[in-house]
Structure 1
Amino acid sequence: MRKRVRVRASLSPQLLFKLHIERYILKIQTEFTDDHQAKLTVEFEPEVLEQYKRRAARKLAKETRIPGFRPGKAPYNMVVNYVGEDTILNEAIDLMVDKFYPEVIKEAGIEPSGPGSLDDVTNIEDSPVFFFTVPLEPTVELGGLDDLKEPYVPPIISEEEVQSTLFAVRRNASTIIPLDTPAKEGDLVFFTLSAVNAQAQEGEEVELIQSTPQQVFIPTEKEQNETEWPFKGFARQLIGVSAGDELEIEHQFSDDTPDGDLVGKRVIFKVKVQSVKGLELPEVDEDFLQKMGDFNSREEIEEYIRNSMQTSAKAEYDENYYNGLIDRIREKSSIKYPPQVLSEEVENVLDDLEHELSHQQMNLDLYLKLRKLDKEDFIKKEVRPSAVERLERSLIKQAIEKKYDIQISKEELERQISNVLTELIRSGELEEVQRSLGERKFTQAVSILATKQALEEAIRLQLRRLAAPESLQAEDREEQSSQSEVSAEEIQTEQEKEPAAEEETEPESKA
């Protein structure tokens, strides 16, 4: 007697998914918009909404106390009468979105960058139609890589710059002494300062700065700084003043002046000198060296200054060099992203600004008030352009990482972790950060930051391969030359040791 064998058809997950979609959904239409979003029109089978209204009623019956019924036991009509048809309909729509939205996204074959939105629901009496807007994942088509050439020549700190910085360190540690002579380079001037708009129109505010106490150091011409307030060269205009003097200094500010209150204005500054004082600089002696960091000699503190300045100068040069390369690539690349992604970056810029202001005991509202700026205008004119730049630079870097398959080695990650921990120790923040985050979160945070830094270095290295490969070759030759010199010195040292060893072991001759 033959046995009957039932053969069960094995369906692939893809086919099962397809059958599930076709069972509930009649049609999905996809339209792509200019702002990098997808408009989805999804038409469901007529009975689907009714099924989900029943599910919604059961859910509401469990959550709502209906007199005469235990939770979840009230019949459909009773739930409708108690909570209302609209409530059930809205709950049914929510349930359908939760269930079908991920499946619709998959079936439409799109990659969202974040949550979509349900814009409208129509035709609920027949075949309901849902309208979704979905922000798409940013895309980048890199351009300008073939002609990305730029010499890499980081600055070298001169001996003059080292001595100038050492002089500034001594000046900061100097003793202030009263003077009865006119102000000269290297002196401190104490005064009150006020300012008025020299070209104020009717209805425009005349007073720009109320009388406030100020003090400035009068630098040499070489020491003048572009960030000097209220403008570069102001302090040197006080050369020759004495206590009790009053003077007016007029200045025309450009349209790109950082101080928003002074942009484009011709301003008259009124100065009332209170006193002039000199600085008595300490000698670079043992006491000074100990106070500055336990240095043993002038050469040690100069070497420390030189290394610190070189590191800082190279970091600034690298930031400008690589951002310049990224911006050149940006100009020739096609970058697309939805408005939601930019809005998120705008919030990130504002959060970063708030964080920086908190260190100055200030919040954003006070900052805007001091600058006399409207928040909406500030976001439009300053925050949004900064967010666009940050976002697009980041997207270009991600595209470069993907194009060149940049990977981070275990050794490089460990090196960056060491750098992060060293910096925390140097700044004295290690214990505080560990305590505030806890061991697990601290370890994760250090790993994330180290990975980010390692990836940034790897991307920069790839950019240099494209823009200035000869600089990398020169560095390799220098490194090999340095290693050869070290090896030669070691060999010479060993050779010098050998005869001495022989002499020590040679027996004395008998008389």
Structure 2
Amino acid sequence: MQTQMLEKDAHRAKFKVSVPAEAVTDTYERVLRELARQVRVPGFRPGKAPRGVIEARVGKDAVAQEVRDALVRLHLPQAVRELSLTPIAQRVHAHEPVEGEAYSFEVDVELYPEVTLPELSEIVIDTEKPPLTEEMVQEAIENLQRQHATLIPVERPAEAGDHLVLELAGGEEGSTLPVDLDAVSPAFAEQLYGKAIGDEVEVTLDQPDENEAGEDAELEAARAADTSEEPAAVDAETDANTGAGSNEGAATPPTLRVVIKDIKAKELPERGDEFAQTLGFATWAEVEARVRESLAAQLEQEAFSAQREEFTEKLTLESNPHVPQSLKERRKAVLLQNLARDLEGRGLSMQAYLEKLDQEEKRAEFEAELEEAAENAVKRDLVLEKLLETRGTRLSDAEFEAALAFMAQQQGSTPAKLRQELGEQGLANYRFLLTRDKAVRESLRELLGADADAETAPETAVSVTSSGAAEDASSESVQ
């Protein structure tokens, strides 16, 4: 076999592969032997029919096509390696071979882009950790008191902070729903304020937050990867915020008719050692200390997450890699799949959604947002993959198992069930996402001068889910 580069630039290449006549003849014979074993010919045992009978049965053109495909399958990967190419899409121009004659075919390939990272030490992170205020501490303590409040029956209309028991109007007796007005959205609670026991109320249910809709996108991406030949390249944090998933054209929020069956007020426990002991502490001072410690850790983690996002955005912006059209089209397809799934959960089909956009003359805007979201997501993946390659970051088996265990716990499942759901390729894909995120965290900690090991296990486990998994992550290798 010989290869010849015909054309090549930074993004595309065209080359020719030449196969000697002997190799063509060998391939013809091998294909005919395989066909003889596969094709049933009356009067002959499998594999024993003469060549002429097989060619007559299958057709000479079909045999030639099989030989052509076999020659391409055998020699194309060798040619790619010999020319040191990394194709992401390819188009083969191959005619049918003739037995006993030399053969050649040409290939156009779209090349995996080269990414050049900026000097990481020159990236400036502006996000700072907010200070822990006394107001935060007091609010957290009040929440703690509300969580351990005693419920006292009252004979008055519902007020803020009350605990209600609702019954579905017209439903079966006993089909009740407890509602803590402190725990629901203000918009939902507002519909129940001033209502008394026995009142029938029609309440509008909350629509899911668009930014929360992608919480498990990375995990879903990892699952999806097990059914495809290559990962789908989804980054959760990008996909969850794309304009392609806007609320334009969303279904009407669902409503329920309920009857208020019970209203209870909350009697908060007094702050002191007695309350502390019910929480497992000896003194109230220990409770306050733990509250401050927990809030400080939460602020630290939230700040680091924001800094990580800022670091990723600036790294992507300064690298600004070329985005191959094939990768962009793959990402657009994934974004549309995610949108269709989200719409289905709201009781709306993709067709109805697009028709509504057409009616409102917003289809072009939607397409532009989809194009931009796909391009930005692929850029982000290319840059983060280059960062991972440059650092040579590795994820230990213990880290991976801890992440799986944490994810399984979040899903209300077990590591064994999660492994089964993801499949072999999905697990490999999820491991890649975790490793890539580890590279980002290590780079950021070095930039901030922080201890690269000073992180919590939950952060490690869920850092690629926003999204994702499963993401979003969007998230996986874009190859």
Counterpart CA distance in 2 for 1:98 and 1:314 is: 53
How big is each residue's C-alpha offset from its partner over 1:419-466, in whole Å with a ceiling of 9 and x where there is no partner?
Answer: 94898599699995379869xx9x9999988855643331212443xx
Q: CA distance change for structure 1 residues 423 and 129 in 2, over 3 Å: closer, same or farther?
A: closer
Q: CA contact under 8 A between 1:28 and 1:42: conserved in structure 2?
A: no
Structure 1, residues 108-153: CA drift from partner, whole Å, max 9, x if none?
431134xx55544336568755354545324323359686323352
Correspondent of 1:433 among 401, 410, 415: 415
CA deviation map 1:447-497 (0-9, x unaligned): 988855643331212443xxxxxxx3xx79xx9xxxxxxxxxxxxxxxxxx
Task: Determine which of 260, 285, 293 is the counterpart of 1:307.
Answer: 293
Corresponding residue to 1:394 among 381, 385, 388: 381
3-state SS, counterpart of residue 32 of structure 2: helix
Matches within 5 A, 1:156-175: 156-175=131-150
Supply the distance in 2 between the matched residues of 1:289 and 1:46 (Cα, whole angstroms). 88
- AA aligned to 2:33 is R
RMSD across aligned positions (CA): 5.6
> One-letter code of the match for 2:346?
L
Match of 1:98, SS state, is helix
- Asked if structure 2 preserves the Cα contact closer than 8 Å seen for 1:28 and 1:43, the reply is no
Q: Is the 8 A contact 2:121 2:447 kept in 1?
A: no
Structure 1 gaps, min length 5:
1-19, 195-211, 220-224, 355-363, 465-471, 480-511
Deviations 1:5-39 (A, max 9, x none): xxxxxxxxxxxxxxx42xxx6x5534569xx5545
Matches within 5 A, 1:43-192: 49=24, 51-67=26-42, 71-113=46-88, 119-122=92-95, 124=97, 130-142=105-117, 148-188=123-163
**Quick one: which of 333, 341, 344 aligns to 1:368?**
344
Amino acid at match of 1:235: A
Question: Given the alignment of the two structures, is residue 461 of structure 1 paired with residue 415 of structure 2, yes or no?
Answer: no
Q: CA deviation at 1:182?
A: 3.9
Task: Give a deviation string over 1:190-224, Cα, whole Å, max 9, x none.
Answer: 67999xxxxxxxxxxxxxxxxx99876556xxxxx
Distance 1:426 1:305 in 2: 28
Contact map agreement 1:246 1:270 (CA 8 A) in 2: no
Work out which of the residue numbers 374, 391, 413 in structure 2 matches 1:406.
Answer: 391
2:63 & 2:83 partners in 1: Cα distance? 28
For residue 235 of structure 1, the aligned residue among 189, 192, 215 is 189
Output the CA distance in 2 between the equivalents of 1:62 and 1:418. Answer: 46
Q: Distance in 1 between matches of 2:274 and 2:432?
A: 43
- Aligned letter for 1:395? L
Q: Which amino acid aligns with 2:265?
A: G
Q: Which of 280, 292, 307 is the aligned partner of 1:321?
A: 307
Residues 140 and 176 of structure 1: CA distance in aligned 2, closer, same or farther (over 3 Å) = same
Cα distance change of structure 1 residues 42 and 290 upon mapping to structure 2, 3 Å threshold: farther
Cα distance in 2 for partners of 1:236, 1:428 equals 31
CA deviations over 1:81-126 (Å, ceiling 9, x no partner): 122213312221222022211222134431134xx55544336568
Contact 1:139–1:337 at 8 Å: present in 2 too?
A: no
d(CA) in 2 for partners of 1:267, 1:121? 55
1:333 equivalenced with 2:333 (yes/no): no
Deviations 1:281-312 (A, max 9, x none): 344577755664x3333333333333333223
Native 8 Å contact 2:408 2:414 kept in 1? no
Aligned in 2, Cα 1:131/1:170: closer, same or farther, shift over 3 Å? farther
Q: CA, structure 1 residues 28+57, in 2 after alignment: closer, same or farther (shift >3 Å)?
A: farther
Deviation at 1:42, TM superposition (A): 4.3
Q: Is the 8 A contact 1:137 1:337 kept in 2?
A: no
Change in Cα spacing, 1:234 to 1:421, as seen in structure 2 (3 Å) is closer
Structure-2 change in CA distance of 1:417 and 1:50 (3 Å) = closer
* SS of residue matched to 2:156: coil
Amino acid at match of 1:173: H
Instruction: Tell me the SS of whatever aligns to 1:140.
Output: coil
Contact 1:417 1:450 in 2 (8 A): no
Deviations 1:339-367, CA, capped at 9 Å, x for gaps: 5545666788899x79xxxxxxxxx8586
Q: Secondary structure at the match of 2:321?
A: strand
> For 1:340 and 1:136, how far apart are their aligned partners in 2?
10
Equivalent position of 1:297 in the other structure: 283
Match of 2:380, as an amino acid? R
The answer for the alignment partner of 1:503 in structure 2 is none
d(CA) in 2 for partners of 1:170 and 1:375? 49
Matched residue type, 2:298: S
Q: CA separation in 2, counterparts of 1:247 and 1:70?
A: 79
How many equivalent pairs are there? 393
Whole-Å Cα distance in 1 between the matches of residues 399 and 256 of structure 2?
Answer: 53
Q: How many angstroms apart in 1 are the aligned matches of 2:158 and 2:317?
A: 51
How many percent identity over aligned positions?
Answer: 22
Distance in 1 (alpha carbons) for counterparts of 2:5 and 2:17: 5
Counterpart of 1:459, as a letter, is: S
List runs of 5+ in structure 2 lacking aligned partners.
170-174, 214-245, 355-365, 455-479
CA contact (8 A) 2:343 2:350 kept: no
- Structure with higher Rg: it is 1
Query: Which has the larger displacement, 297-306 or 280-289?
Result: 280-289
Name the amino acid aligned to 2:391.
I
Would the alpha carbon gap of residues 217 and 73 (structure 1) be closer, same or farther in structure 2, given more than 3 Å must change?
closer
Q: Do the aligned residues in 1 keep the contact of 2:316 with 2:383 (CA within 8 Å)? A: yes
Q: Would the alpha carbon gap of residues 299 and 340 (structure 1) be closer, same or farther in structure 2, given more than 3 Å must change?
A: farther
SS in 1 for 2:379: helix
- CA distance in 2 between counterparts of 1:262 and 1:290 reads 51
In the alignment, the residues of structure 2 paired with residue 422 and residue 157 of structure 1 have an alpha-carbon distance, to the nearest angstrom, of 32
CA shift at 1:76, angstroms?
2.9
Residues 130 and 213 of structure 1: CA distance in aligned 2, closer, same or farther (over 3 Å): farther
1:213 and 1:381, CA in 2 relative to 1: closer, same or farther beyond 3 A? farther
TM-score by length of 1: 0.57
